Structure 1
């Protein structure tokens, strides 16, 4: 029968147990005792005896006994502690500067650590795949937050510093996201916004597996340009397509640093601009005809959502409501014209072929700026300023910033899970991990 310290009844506590060693799964140590109390499993280990020479002079050193080190290991149903009986030696050479020294087992623990080496791999896998937090993992280990993070962080820093993770990027996306939603926190917790760079390169099947490449503080063209400058010439020459939102700072950075890449204005934001223009017209007509903002029974207010639907997706009932409300609430047909312009912008992205979509987009650029409706004319001028970037969508196989927005969603999710971040460096490392920006070796996958 097993006892608290040995494998079989009557076996000395110091005798190693091969079966326990298999269960423990740590190379280089022998299990000499196992006990469980107070909701914790304690496994006592030691290394096999070996003749040891001084690391400095090589003289065979006599033993100075052992000291006990308590290490935190990967938890099971209860927290697990590894009690390591660490050997110590004394150098007998009087002229050697080294007096005493202790054995080191890199496969078990770092020189001054209190967490086993495999806990680092376990924690990174939990953070990456299981939406865990450092705080939650620390509670499972029964250690402090900082105790765990200070061994995980250097590993993530090494992975983030590996420039090979930028290899093979053919399509580059950029977008900003808000780190702090409250302005007063900016002065105490760093920048309010970050700029994220995302790999949107398609695989052989034409699918995009977006991954976050980096996060830099601020939402400026300079921040983006500096990041591009810091990359290698091979990286910059490999980027053939660059997607972006209609923000001039990012466009200028691409013009200066990635002049050979085709810039593409994100389709979602183009349609969003057209929808905003239509909504402005609807609200203006509402105020002009009824003298107040939309209410439940007002004709234009009743169709505010229908106006945003694609014309081909409307049901007969929706068509009937649309026509009736426009007839009663749009005496000058301004909302009707704005809706037709909005549908035209949408139809360019829904065209059967890229050539057909480009023809529609070129017509939009050529005609909208001369529209008598102020909001549509403003939209036309905006699209004319972004003409080449707008038309780039139809020459790049539909490149867009959708993958970048998906990465932003992952960032928002993990920021909520962690209840926010105070340190921008920790924030960057965690988001690179969860959003696929780090090349993980097999032991971390």
Structure 2
């Protein structure tokens, strides 16, 4: 029997053209392997056996790691079963956040490795080689000390940047903690319908510039209901000040506000705000780096996580971590340089 490797791979049952089409459907149309198998009139296993070697070849191509100047990192959960059966639930994902000629970020997933630790991130960086590490100039991250340690150890010339979203989230969480504490101190129970502070919990999470007149009136009425509520209002103002640093059109003005926040919050008599201030002081350099790196953030990494979650839901979950890695690299653009 004559072999035609250009038409069908050795021992294959699907043409190379069909394999290319299947990969395109998985990449661009959010298709599933089962759906493709149904269209081709074959089985899931047949389709995956044909597609997997090509994905492995693309994943092994080191050229896809070239020209990465901005690197993001984040973790996510890839399964929800017993880790003894399927291994660690957490994976650390590395994302290319480099900007194109127009200054736009084209986020693409570079890799997924088991675990959520600085060691997992540092080991991956070490495997990439000296040329890759020297090329990375900005490293965005969430406030997780393990990742920061890996950056300090492996990316000595890169500037670590604390993600703006997570910084604002820390401020909002501090306000919510103050609200719950004052609620307990004044009424002796958790928030209930009709309680002044419980009624404004969503307002306290919003930006001041986004509040309507009706919401402002509700906020003022809740704060004036008890002198103890002033503590909540002060905490909210602190969170708004932190948030405003990122909303300044002039980065220099934003940095001035951020520096004031770092220098003053830790002295606040409200314990939750003081703790927030101490956290920002520990992360001072990475916090302020946002204003000197052209508003670098980990937003692209979160967008990639959204793509990963979409494909995980479409597949109704995964049992094999290697297959999961290949599918997510394909879906999130990680198999192209």
TM-score category (smaller protein): over 0.9
- Residue matched to 1:356: 253
Shift of 1:187: 1.1
Shift of 1:142: 2.3
Q: Does 1:200 align with 2:94?
A: no
Q: How far apart in 2 are the matches of 1:285 and 1:330?
A: 11
Q: How does 1:339-378 map to 2 (within 5 A)?
A: 339-378=236-275
- Residue matched to 1:98: none
Matched pairs, number:
337
- Residue matched to 1:153: 52
Deviations 1:316-337 (A, max 9, x none): 1111111111110452511011
Q: Does 1:191 align with 2:88?
A: yes
Shift of 1:299: 0.7
Q: How far apart in 2 are the matches of 1:373 and 1:167?
A: 48
Structure richer in strand, relative to its length: 1
Q: Does 1:177 align with 2:68?
A: no
Q: How far apart in 2 are the matches of 1:378 and 1:313?
A: 27
Of 292, 295, 308 in structure 2, the residue corresponding to residue 395 of structure 1 is: 292
- Residue matched to 1:74: none
CA contact 1:285–1:330 (8 Å) conserved in 2: no
CA contact 2:223–2:229 (8 Å) conserved in 1: no
Q: How far apart in 2 are the matches of 1:205 and 1:141?
A: 41
Question: Of the two structures, which has the highest relative contact order with CA contacts closer than 8 Å and spacing of 6 or more?
Answer: 2
Q: How far apart in 2 are the matches of 1:238 and 1:224?
A: 17
Secondary structure of residue in 2 paired with 1:279: helix
Residues 1:135 and 1:330: Cα distance change in structure 2 (over 3 Å)? farther
Deviations 1:138-161 (A, max 9, x none): 122222211111111010000000
Q: Does 1:266 align with 2:163?
A: yes
Of 204, 208, 213 in structure 2, the residue corresponding to residue 316 of structure 1 is: 213
Secondary structure of residue in 1 paired with 2:10: coil
Higher-Rg structure is: 1
Of 115, 118, 141 in structure 1, the residue corresponding to residue 14 of structure 2 is: 115
Shift of 1:366: 0.7
Secondary structure of residue in 2 paired with 1:264: strand
CA contact 1:350–1:357 (8 Å) conserved in 2: yes
Deviations 1:362-387 (A, max 9, x none): 11111111111111111110100000
Q: How far apart in 2 are the matches of 1:130 and 1:231?
A: 31
CA contact 1:370–1:377 (8 Å) conserved in 2: yes
Q: How far apart in 2 are the matches of 1:350 and 1:279?
A: 22
- Residue matched to 1:246: 143
Secondary structure of residue in 2 paired with 1:331: helix
Gaps of 5+ in 2: none
- Residue matched to 1:256: 153
CA contact 2:161–2:289 (8 Å) conserved in 1: yes
Gaps of 5+ in 1: 1-101, 441-445
Shift of 1:246: 0.4
Shift of 1:107: 2.5
Q: Does 1:380 align with 2:266?
A: no
Of 198, 203, 208 in structure 2, the residue corresponding to residue 306 of structure 1 is: 203
- Residue matched to 1:420: 317
Q: Which runs of 4+ in 1 moved over 6 A?
A: none
TM-score by length of 2: 0.98
Q: Does 1:126 align with 2:25?
A: yes
Of 151, 164, 172 in structure 1, the residue corresponding to residue 63 of structure 2 is: 164
Q: How far apart in 2 are the matches of 1:330 and 1:258?
A: 50
Of 422, 427, 430 in structure 1, the residue corresponding to residue 327 of structure 2 is: 430
State the Cα RMSD in Å: 1.1
CA contact 2:179–2:232 (8 Å) conserved in 1: yes
- Residue matched to 1:408: 305
Secondary structure of residue in 1 paired with 2:80: coil
TM-score by length of 1: 0.74
Secondary structure of residue in 1 paired with 2:225: helix
